[in-house]
């Protein structure tokens, strides 16, 4: 592999990792607050992709309006999921919440399957994203440039919210001790709703990016994507927002580079991602940026 091809694969890996990172943030924030692995989170991303497909290909809206529509639908789905499925089980054993999350995941997959059918849908990508950009012999598309930039910008906004606003302070306090925060007069359910709004919005953006990068949509597309994003969150350090982004970048980079170096083993790329995760956790069980939950959050 020559240097130009290697550089191009690095860019592709960072772009793929950015999508994983946006989904991983949702996993790590919900876990940080509720100690819940929200397995339905990746299916919210899938719902966003189908919502954008419906808005653009059926209603004929532009990509910008389709994105806004998908974000609104995802936020509604995320908030309703918390209100209907998770809120009644706040004080139940965590295994009950985990099983409920899996049930919500199956429900979203099947309702989309019934609504849109099981046949894969082709997402119409705007011509702008089909352009080819040549940079010193390296062939790039606007997608691989825009996705990492947007991801880093959203990370900066999220960190500002978490550490510079009163709602961010409430989220971090709630993650530290939900019972004490409730006794201090803070509406914990409202703060949890904000967490789901943020996570669902980020999942929607990742769904749009995925639809543009890989424009074939299926109701079960979120299964493997979600597992990899969860692996990214664990790899970076579950409970750390920056760790989730770092884990997403590393996982996407590893996946793309492995296929580039060993194309004959491309069918094993999904397994390689999890094998890499296992080896990292053997030496650092809390993840690369794992935090001490007794002292800090996010």
The verdict on residue 94 lying in a domain is yes
- Pairing of the two strands 216-217 and 121-122: antiparallel
The verdict on residue 294 lying in a domain is no
Give the pLDDT score at 295.
56
The verdict on residue 295 lying in a domain is no
The verdict on residue 57 lying in a domain is yes
Question: Which H/E stretch holds residue 216?
Answer: strand 216-217
Buried (b) or exposed (e) across 106-124, using 16+ Cβ within 10 A?
eebbeebeeebeeeebebe
The verdict on residue 190 lying in a domain is yes
Handedness of CA 61, 72, 199, 35 (dihedral sign): negative
Q: Which residue has the tokens 């965590």?
A: 94
Query: How many domains does the chain divide into?
Result: 1
Give the pLDDT score at 291.
61
Radius of gyration from C-alpha coordinates of the chain: 19
Give the pLDDT score at 130.
78
The verdict on residue 100 lying in a domain is yes
Q: What are the distances in angstroms from CA 239 to CA 7, 53, 80, 121, 268?
A: 31, 32, 23, 35, 29
The verdict on residue 193 lying in a domain is yes
Give the pLDDT score at 268.
81
> Is 30 strand, coil or helix?
helix
Identify the CA nearest to 51 among candidates 67, 32, 75. 67
The verdict on residue 255 lying in a domain is yes
Secondary structure letter of residue 130 according to DSSP? G
Give the pLDDT score at 1.
60
pLDDT in tens, 55-103: 998 888 899 999 999 999 999 999 999 999 999 998 888 889 889 999 9
What does pTM read for this prediction?
A: 0.91
- What CATH number is attached to the domain comprising 253? 1.10.3470
Beta bridge partners of 245: none
Identify the CA nearest to 101 among candidates 11, 187, 226, 204. 226
Q: What is the span of the domain harbouring residue 276? A: 7-109+121-283
The list of the chain residues with pLDDT below 70 reads 1-2, 137, 290-298
């Amino acid at each position: 592999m020559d240097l130009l091809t290697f550089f191009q694969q690095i860019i592709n890996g960072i772009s793929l990792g950015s999508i994983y990172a946006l989904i991983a943030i949702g996993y790590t924030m919900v876990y940080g607050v509720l100690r819940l692995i929200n397995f339905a989170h990746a299916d919210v991303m899938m719902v966003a992709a189908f919502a954008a497909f419906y808005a653009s290909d059926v209603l004929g809206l532009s990509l910008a309006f389709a994105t806004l529509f998908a974000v609104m639908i995802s936020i509604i789905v995320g908030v309703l999921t918390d209100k209907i499925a998770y809120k009644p089980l706040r004080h139940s054993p965590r295994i009950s919440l985990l099983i409920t999350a899996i049930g919500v995941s199956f429900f979203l997959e099947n309702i989309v399957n019934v609504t849109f059918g099981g046949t894969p849908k082709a997402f119409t990508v705007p011509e702008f994203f089909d352009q080819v950009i040549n940079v010193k012999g390296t062939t790039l598309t606007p997608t691989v440039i825009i996705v990492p930039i947007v991801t880093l910008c959203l990370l900066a906004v999220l960190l500002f919210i978490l550490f510079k606003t009163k709602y961010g302070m409430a989220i971090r306090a709630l993650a530290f001790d939900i019972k004490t925060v409730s006794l201090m007069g803070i509406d914990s359910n409202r703060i949890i709703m904000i967490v789901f709004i943020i996570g669902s919005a980020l999942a929607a953006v990742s769904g749009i990016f995925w639809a543009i990068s890989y424009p074939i949509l299926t109701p079960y597309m979120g299964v493997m994507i979600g597992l990899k994003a969860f692996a990214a969150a664990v790899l970076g350090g579950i409970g750390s927002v920056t760790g989730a982004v770092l884990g997403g970048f590393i996982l996407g980079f590893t996946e793309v580079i492995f296929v580039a170096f060993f194309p004959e083993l491309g069918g094993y790329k999904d397994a390689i991602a999890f094998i890499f995760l296992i080896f990292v956790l053997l030496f650092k069980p809390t993840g690369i940026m794992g935090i001490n939950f007794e002292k800090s959050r996010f």
